[in-house]
Structure 1
Amino acid sequence: MKNLQKRTAALAGLALLASLGLTACGSDDDGGDGGDGGSGGDSSSITMIPKNLGNPYFDASTAGAEAAAEEFGGSVEEVGPDTATPDSQVSFINTAAQQGAGAVVVSANDPSAICDALEEASSAGVKVVTFDSDTEPECRDIFVNQADAAGIAAKQVELIAAQIGDEGEVAILSAAANATNQNAWIELMEADLEENHPNIELVDIVYGDDDDQKSFDQTAALLSAHPNLKGIISPTTVGIAAAARYLSTSDAKGKVALTGLGAPSQMKAFIEDGTVTEFALWNPEDLGYLAAFAANALASGDIEGAEGDTFEAGKLGEYTVGADGVVVLGEPYVFDAENIDQFKF
């Protein structure tokens, strides 16, 4: 964790934990204070905190983390909020620190709202890994990115352009308005459309907050507000599935193209009935698997999260930490009718 000495939150966290009589173990002090010493800094205990519970995407990433923990002899506990609001993860981070987790692995709902809580956890010896959606870099040790942001944005623009003949009105159905990853992709998609697709007009950006019903309703609202809409990009698994569900029974089926980032298990029916032709994603199980190995490497003291650090991630092989503590899983994969049956997540 960078520049924690500059943040008073870290001192507050130390005082809080001291008052609770909890042991804080940092990776720089392998000796501890004797006894069992709790599990702070111990790779055997990882707390997964997704944006929200009940989200199939995060169910898959947690399953991947659990598989990784079995391989390196650790344990994973998933906790989190029911809804993806900016500060809804704070209490779960605080509890993980108080219970002496070796590491927390968090998909941030907001880039800064959880920073104080993460820095308090770090001051207690808990290693901090973000995955899927990042915080400000100084708030964590490593960010496990699913793919290069530019590549993700370019792939979604490429798909929608091909499906609508590279012209017409399109809209974006995103997750939460503060989601770091969504906003980064949207900014890059806007630039790509402006520079490379002058005949495509982005007419609206709406937010479903990774809630199925709200995303469904936002799809209906988009079609009502933009009768000439030719395509929707939804860079969120909840959003694209909800949009597909709406389109599949509407007059817009086959007329309004839909693509984005989706889970094959959710999208298979909509590929088969012709509502959707192509969409993209990475394997969220692999993302959680890699994040758990990164957390284990940090908590074990094998790496510090510095640029150039390398660690082994089981079946995925060796990874190198890049600038700003970023580790990249790989490139997005396109799913269509020919290959979707090969994937179960």
Structure 2
Amino acid sequence: MPRATLRRACRALATVTTLTLAATACGGTTKDDVKNEAAPRAAAGKADPDAALKKDLTVAFLPKQVNNPYFTVADKGGEKALKELGSTYKETGPNSATDTSGQVSYVNTLTQQQVDAIAVSAQDPGSLCTALKQARKNGIKVVTYDSDTGPACRDAFVSQASAEDLGRTQVQLLAKQLDHKGEIAILSAAQTATNQNTWIDFMKDELKDPKYKDMKLVKTVYGNDDPQASFQQTQGLLQEHPELAGIISPTTVGIKAAAQYLSGSKYKGKVALTGLGTPNDMREYVTNGTVDAFELWDPARLGALAAHTAVALKSGRITGKEGETFKAGALGTFTVGEDGVVNLGKPTVFDKRNIDDFDF
């Protein structure tokens, strides 16, 4: 697939890439999971990058599920950033990740409370849209983070990382471990998972670079984000390809299941494994030498960037229009992309040196 086509796919994916709960993070969002609002966003006025940064704002974080380790880390990052910015943080939300209608009532309540901004990780992108539009009509700035709605329903979306970065860096990470040599395979989630397929397209495009001439992708298999199925797919890969040198699994369920199989097999330390995983899932396998390194975004930085984006919007420094730039404290300077998407940046690599610094 040409790079230009992949980038278009990446932009299309921005509204559907989602990290679900710790057990199924990065598993896969299908096209049917998102009901995008096609209508353009309402005009938000002109940005003034030199506008005074407002203080004493109230920014509410509405995660998919409160008390979930991933969102606890993300929202604590937002809380810390808001404290540094002189504003007030609050968190509210459902106790269940499957309570898709519950988020609507929380948005309505926050609208009635007249908070200044809402940072929300959408459980059901379509069902939230009407409530978020009403919040915006009441002057509330809406930032989505981790999981988006349609562009018409919010002012900006803070994305974990671009699809291109996620796809290419996983190949780069494995190639480094293999000294750019050997047969490799991919253990994905479902065949219909839009984000997984987009990442894999970028992986394949990355492998076209001459520096990977001694690496060969021999097979892509699907574990459907089921631990047992992913475990069995890993076993099958090694039986079918006894010379396999490495596996990429861009799903937290898949990489953990693959690590479990490798850890108890003769392939431990001989077959490299990387992909997208959470530190808490993978710590055991990094410690015992099954996995050298894997990656994911840092949820604390994601939450902090959501907070900075909300305050920048409320202060008028940005409106969510493509090309606008703003400073986000120690995180650096960010540029708003197409459809109001702000990318956090390249994913974080976890290995023995830093894995104990994270708890999610």
Residue of structure 1 equivalent to 2:302: 287
Kept in 1: contact 2:188–2:254 (CA 8 A) = yes
Residue of structure 1 equivalent to 2:221: 204
Q: Answer with 120-129 or 326-335: which moved more.
A: 120-129
TM-score w.r.t. length of structure 2: 0.68
1:151 is aligned to 2:165: yes
Kept in 2: contact 1:172–1:232 (CA 8 A) = yes
Residue of structure 1 equivalent to 2:70: 57
How many positions carry a matched residue from both structures? 301
Residue of structure 1 equivalent to 2:29: none
Q: Which runs of 5+ in 1 are unaligned?
A: 11-26, 29-41, 209-213
Task: Kindly report which structure 2 residues correspond to 1:113-124, keeping only aligned pairs within 5 A, or say none.
Answer: 114-124=128-138
Cα separation, 1, equivalents of 2:196 and 2:71: 16
Assess, with a 3 A threshold, how the Cα gap between structure 1 residues 194 and 135 changes in structure 2: closer, same or farther.
farther
Letter in 1 for 2:71: F
Deviation at 1:255, TM superposition (A): 4.4
1:261 is aligned to 2:294: no
TM-score w.r.t. length of structure 1: 0.70
Q: Which runs of 5+ in 2 are unaligned?
A: 1-35, 46-55
Cα separation, 2, equivalents of 1:81 and 1:195: 46
Name the SS of the counterpart of 2:75 in structure 1: helix
Residue of structure 2 equivalent to 1:228: 240
Cα separation, 1, equivalents of 2:299 and 2:38: 34
Deviation at 1:254, TM superposition (A): 3.1
Residue of structure 2 equivalent to 1:142: 156
Residue of structure 1 equivalent to 2:292: 277
Kept in 1: contact 2:184–2:218 (CA 8 A) = yes
Kept in 1: contact 2:231–2:260 (CA 8 A) = no
Identify which of structures 1 and 2 has the higher relative contact order when contacts are C-alpha pairs closer than 8 Å and 6+ apart: 2
Name the SS of the counterpart of 2:219 in structure 1: strand
Deviation at 1:294, TM superposition (A): 0.7
Residue of structure 1 equivalent to 2:80: 67
CA RMSD of aligned residues (A): 3.8
Cα separation, 2, equivalents of 1:169 and 1:292: 40
Residue of structure 2 equivalent to 1:189: 203
Name the SS of the counterpart of 2:268 in structure 1: coil
Kept in 2: contact 1:307–1:324 (CA 8 A) = yes
Kept in 2: contact 1:280–1:334 (CA 8 A) = yes
